[in-house]
């Protein structure tokens, strides 16, 4: 998922720059939004990874306690 988020950010930056160069405010804004979406995907993936690690640690602790 992080790869997809990174790709979204790169594509978004390309759109933003293209929009600036061509004077297309809509494309520039779309690029900015794509970058934000990509960053959100990265953050969501990081949160998911941490939650899975915590779940595994809890499971291990409960298993060891038996």
What is the structure's pLDDT at 2?
Answer: 58
Our CA angle for 58, 61, 64, nearest 5°, is: 150
Q: Give me the number of domains the chain comprises.
A: 1
Question: What is the distance, to the nearest Å, from the Cα of residue 22 to the centroid of all Cα atoms in its chain?
Answer: 27
Contact 27, 18 (CB under 8 A): yes
The CA distance from 22 to 43, in Å, is: 31
Instruction: Report pTM.
Output: 0.76
Domain that holds residue 17: 2-64
Tens digits of per-residue pLDDT, 8-57?
999 999 999 999 999 999 999 999 999 999 999 999 999 999 999 999 99
């Amino acid at each position: 998922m992080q790869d997809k988020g990174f790709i979204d950010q790169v594509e978004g930056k390309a759109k933003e720059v293209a929009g600036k160069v061509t004077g297309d405010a809509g494309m520039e804004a779309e690029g900015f939004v794509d970058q934000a979406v990509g960053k959100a995907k990265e953050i969501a993936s990081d949160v998911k990874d941490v939650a899975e690690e915590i779940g595994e640690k809890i499971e291990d602790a409960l298993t060891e306690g038996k």
